[in-house]
Amino acid sequence: MKRVVITGQGTINALGSNVAETWEAMREGRCGIGPLEVRDVERLAIQIGGQVRGYDPDAVFNRQQIVLYDRFTQFTLLSAREAIAQAGLTFVGDLAARTGVVLGNSGGGMNTLDENYRSVYEDGKNRVHPFVVPKLMNNAAASHVSMEFNLKGPTFTVSTACASSNHAMGQAFQLIRCGMAEVMITGGSESMLCFGGVKAWEGLRVMSKDACRPFSANRNGMVQGEGAAVFVFEEYEHAKKRGADIIAEVIGFAMTSDAADIVMPSKQGAARTIVGAMRDAKVNSDEVGYINAHGTGTAANDKTECAAVADALGHHANDLMISSTKSMHGHLIGGTGAVELLACTMALREGVIAPTIGYEEPDPECALDVVPNVARDAEVDVVLSNAFAFGGLNAVLALRKV
């Protein structure tokens, strides 16, 4: 089994337009959630989100590209450019053939859908742009990354709601580990902060109107975000031979299904996934120093996740740190696990644990060290990243310091 390392990372999200800005915001415990700036916002009951502000697509893409790129694809390409530039790779010949793309996404081109439904139903138009379908399809971002960088290996999109990015990164990890690829571009993206996207989520009655407060007793729901994060996963010997700067090593992955309920999480399913990731990584529970939690800020998710962590790690659950960065950047749905992996690489690379901000009242059902409100300096060697999605689909990644 080949070893897999991370040699590049890139992002754009509510906290920053690159990794350095995002890490700085996480260190400072800065909140990227604020008033939504979308059309017809006054008709929405939920008017806050982790929006990418000040973003001008015309500054980074030409008119022909914008016709083809939905907002989620634009975010993905910008993140991929940063990640691949950091990795210092050029994809030609055999390396191009042995490099692929696996990305997570849930909503696809939601902004494109919203705009064109308005055009047809509200404005009464009988024709839409011929590129609407290729612009809104979930695999558009993966395909455009492959085309921009000449990547001819396994390329596809994973869509498992809130676990999409973790599932995607897990598949990328497995493809390199088993020898099917040398390098994989992986991560995820989402952009559902438009009228139709937010209105649909309002119907679930799981959204907060004021803030995301994971693990706090007075939490009142999740807050949506948008953006992307992309990583370069690379076979260790390949990276070592070319003298790459290795950010972290991916050492384990597990995925399970609750087979129970379409929206309510299962403690048993989550715990089995955490145990599976540690087993795959060949680490004991007392080696895990930090967990980036799924931590949505809903009553059901937070207490279920804490119970699952306690079951999976036993007494050591009281000694490790667990935080939810959704409190800062919002819940990116299909892209959330990718942005959250940046908190994991920051913990390993920088020795800084991102906080759970908005924490106001202890909850006895979430009685773990949730790193409340203020980042913490701490040396950790092994971290886990949790993702537990609607549909009962769970995916956990394990990383180690190199």
Strand ranges (E), 111-191:
155-158, 183-190
Q: Which helix (H) or strand (E) holds 34?
A: strand 34-35
Can you say whether residue 215 is alpha, beta or left, with left for phi > 0 and alpha for psi between -120 and 50 degrees? left
Edge-to-edge order in the sheet of strand 321-323: 155-158, 99-104, 183-190, 227-235, 4-13, 248-257, 393-400, 382-389, 288-292, 321-323
162 tagged catalytic: yes
Active-site residue (options: 162, 212, 306, 344):
162
First to last CA, the chain: 18
Q: Which residues contact 56 (CB under 8 A, 6 or more apart)?
A: none
Active-site residue (options: 294, 329, 344, 366):
294
Closest CA to 291 of 401, 189, 399: 399
- CA 213: distance to chain centroid? 18
Crossing angle between the packed helical segments 19-28 and 336-350, to the nearest 10 degrees: 80
C-alpha to C-alpha distance for 108 and 129, rounded to whole angstroms: 17
Tokens of 359: 């924490």
The C-alpha angle 18, 385, 263, rounded to 5 degrees, equals: 105
β partners of residue 398 = 252, 384
Tokens of 325: 């960065």
C-alpha to C-alpha distance for 281 and 246, rounded to whole angstroms: 18
C-alpha to C-alpha distance for 87 and 167, rounded to whole angstroms: 22
Q: Which residues contact 112 (CB under 8 A, 6 or more apart)?
A: 70, 132, 135, 136
Q: Which helix (H) or strand (E) holds 81?
A: helix 71-87
294 tagged catalytic: yes
Active-site residue (options: 167, 238, 329, 331):
331
Enzyme catalytic residues:
162, 294, 331
